[in-house]
Structure 1
């Protein structure tokens, strides 16, 4: 696992509908090597939740910790379960209006929402992302799933 500051990805932010994504106010990139060991790889969502919680705390956005941690957890779980690459890259960055999340897993196939029955044990990850994220999508070719969370989404009425 490695952590590095990312470069802004204006093209991906433009996909979210953010007209001018800059200035980039902060960010982090975490790269998880796929070990092939189920116990080790199953720890990655927990690790990324802790990392995102720390960054949101530093950025003064503790009110977004729960949603952001859940979103990243679902995306990272999907990446390790269905992805193809040797490395899963997680980017978390901040603009003036959004917390932006990206998970790259080397897939060539784009994930998609699937119907899920009430007794199904799996398959709800993207439904959760769809419900919680302000916007989400998949890059062409399916290698990166991204989503955004509005920074002011949980502020009380009248404080904006």
Structure 2
């Protein structure tokens, strides 16, 4: 179910890996609507992909994606019902996974986890030239 919320959106979905692509497409459409510069949009879409994948793999029940564009920033939140907070992992060179949150930390202005551990979020700064 998709719902518009001011300058944002919220989507809830069952945890299925095929939904990652859907969430990237929904996010890309809104980023275009909000006139987010392409280079920033690419980073946001990568962060959405990583956070949604983590929510699907490690969550408990349905997963939620929320994006809010306001005050020169874009906040992405993924809620997965897992009370164990997401943590940066130290992936080895030959590991096939474990770099998602590291990528989010590098690409976003800031990131964190809600006090209850259920939501992982990140914030991107947007240029002041965006309408």
TM-score, normalised by the number of residues in structure 2 = 0.92
> Residue 92 of structure 2 is aligned with which of 117, 125, 140?
117
Higher relative contact order (CA 8 A, sep 6+): 2
**Unaligned runs of at least 5 residues, structure 2:** none
- TM-score under structure 1 length normalisation: 0.76
> Contact between 1:100 and 1:147, CA under 8 Å: does it hold in 2?
yes
Task: Report runs of 4+ in structure 1 exceeding 2 Å deviation.
Answer: none
CA distance in 2, matches of 1:67, 1:42: 20
Aligned partner of 2:11 in structure 1 is 30
Q: Secondary structure at the match of 1:102?
A: strand
Alignment-derived partner of residue 132 in structure 1: 107
List runs of 5+ in structure 1 lacking aligned partners. Answer: 7-24, 35-40, 156-160
- State the Cα distance separating 1:96 from its structure 2 match: 2.2
Kept in 2, the 8 Å contact 1:71–1:129? The answer is yes
* Cα displacement (A) at 1:94: 0.3
Match of 1:148 among 123, 126, 129: 123
For the aligned residue pairs, the C-alpha RMSD in angstroms reads 1.5
Q: CA deviation at 1:141?
A: 2.2
Aligned mates of 2:71, 2:89 — CA distance in 1: 33
Bigger CA radius of gyration: 1
